[in-house]
Amino acid sequence: MKKEAVQSAEDTVTIPRKEYERLQAEVAFLKQELADLKRMIFGTKSEKFIPSNTGQTQLFEAEQTLKQPEPAVTKTTVRSSPEKRKPVRALLPAHLPRQEETIEPEDRAADAKKIGEEITELLEYNPAKLFVRRIVRPKYATPGKDGVAIAELPTLPLPRSNAGPGLLAHILVSKFVDHLPFYRQINIFKRQQVNISSSTMGGWFNGACDLLEPLYHCLEKKVMAADYVQADESPIKVQDGHKQNATHTGYQWLYHAPQEKRVLFKYSPGRARGAPEEALRDFSGILQTDGYTAYNDLKTKGNITLAACMAHARRKFEKALDNDKARAEHVLGLMQQLYGREARAREEAMGASQRKDLRQQEAVPLVQELEAWLADHLHRVAPKSPIGQAISYTINLWPRLKLYAEHGKLEIDNNLIENQVRPLALGRKNYLFAGSHKAAQRAAIIYSLLGTCKLNGVEPLQWLTETLSVIPDHKANRLEELLPGTAKM
């Protein structure tokens, strides 16, 4: 067996070449792992790629320029101080109500004539306050007739409780949009001398979710009826009833229909293939995901074509910059050009057909160049090195990654659905965990409806208040009218 000498500081040790190469690979892996940890703790979260060769003047070139002799010409430089810009105060929104007050001068003469006025507008705030809505229904007895005449009680979302639709909507929006856990809201109410127990708050939450569940299933059908859906999953801690002071890691699975502007959350106790198979059982079309293998070979009724996320591939090369800067920068530069075409399509508000034409003319040649480069360099790098893993990951998903360029409706990446994960990520940092698996699915109902509000630019508190007011009497076959963005109340 061929041996290779490795020189240490003290003596010479001879080890087999395979062992030497294994140790080299292990050291490279540990260095990359350490770099990833440092980046996670101390580094920037931005994925923006800035090429190292930017054409800027180098330090030593600048020094040489400064050392060059200058002509003996006396110059007088007059530095003009930059003109200070006065801050411009933005106008206050015109739709806000105005409460006007007039202040007359104390020393005004009796015969003074008004020649004008100065108006100063201040943005003020009245803290939200609880109030009691009293519904009074007079009773009438008609002479000569049996019975009593009394008006019907208006529809109430939770007839057996004393919570109105506005309060229920405020509680849900405060938790799932503004990330205020129930216990914090209880403390806020206490400052107004109103004591609401945690069990009462939980009961209101359960009742509101049960009321909204049929609308949630209507939203689910609409999302799965689309022909292009993005999918992702995110962990959530769930209290385990079988173990004291223990939590279980469940998953919220997200399904986003970009063209229809709808998003669906579905909770599952695990991350296995069964969750997307059950959710996508009737879906047919293009499913865009990351590289997670659970989405491969789904056994569903429909015909599913998988597309991949370019942003996930880009992150692999961004992490490989410390390992092989030249190769990683080359790939990132090509991907940056692809994203430049997408930015242009957004800026010019291109439709699907226009975006497809742009991609065919300008993106496809870049895609082909990148594909050829990946195939050429696959066997030039160590397979277990960061750059090797980045190339292998991208090649394995390449048919799915380049699929977007053949269509106008597909996005280049899954960033739109990752934006929908953010409220969940922020929320779980505040409320820490769901009380049960059923509570986690109820949270999925609210995240779905309020997330769809956000996608359609609908104010969530107003929409939810109106929906809770009318949904008890709404016809089941017309629930689509209540969905955010299509509501007709």
Can you give the pTM of this predicted structure? 0.79
Alpha-carbon torsion (438, 440, 442, 445), positive or negative? negative
Quote the CA–CA distance of 456 and 115 in Å, as a whole number: 49
pLDDT in tens, 434-473: 878 898 999 999 999 999 999 999 999 999 999 999 999 9
**Whole-number pLDDT of residue 90:** 74
Contacts of residue 267, defined as CB under 8 A and 6 or more positions apart, other chains included, come to 236, 250, 251, 252, 253, 437, 440, 441, 443, 444
Cβ(273)–Cβ(214) under 8 Å? no
Query: Which pLDDT does position 357 carry in this prediction?
Result: 94
Residue 405: the pLDDT is 92
pLDDT in tens, the chain (489 residues): 445 555 555 567 788 887 777 787 778 777 777 777 776 676 665 556 566 655 444 433 434 444 444 444 444 555 556 666 766 667 888 888 888 989 888 888 888 888 888 888 888 888 788 889 898 999 888 887 778 888 988 888 988 888 999 999 999 999 999 989 999 999 999 998 999 999 999 999 999 999 999 999 999 999 999 999 999 998 888 887 666 667 888 899 999 999 999 999 999 998 888 899 999 999 999 999 998 888 998 888 889 999 999 999 999 999 888 888 899 999 999 999 999 999 999 999 999 999 999 999 999 999 999 999 999 999 988 888 889 999 999 999 999 999 999 998 999 998 888 888 877 777 777 776 787 889 899 999 999 999 999 999 999 999 999 999 999 999 988 999 999 987 454
Distance CA 2, CA 270 (A): 50
- What is the full DSSP assignment across 81-113? PPPPPPPPPPPPPTTS---------TT--TT--
Nearest-angstrom CA–CA distance, 430 and 95: 33
> Do residues 230 and 192 make contact, with C-beta atoms less than 8 angstroms apart?
no
- Rounded Cα distance between 246 and 71, Å, is 79
| pLDDT at residue 61, rounded to an integer | 42
pLDDT of residue 68: 45
**Do 317 and 306 contact (CB within 8 A), yes or no?**
no
| Cα angle: 238, vertex 190, 441; to 5 degrees | 20
Alpha helices in 101-197 (DSSP H): 165-176, 182-190
Sign of CA dihedral 454, 459, 463, 465: positive
**H-helix or E-strand containing 7?**
strand 3-7
Can you give the pLDDT at residue 111?
85
Q: Which residue has the tokens 């990683």?
A: 328
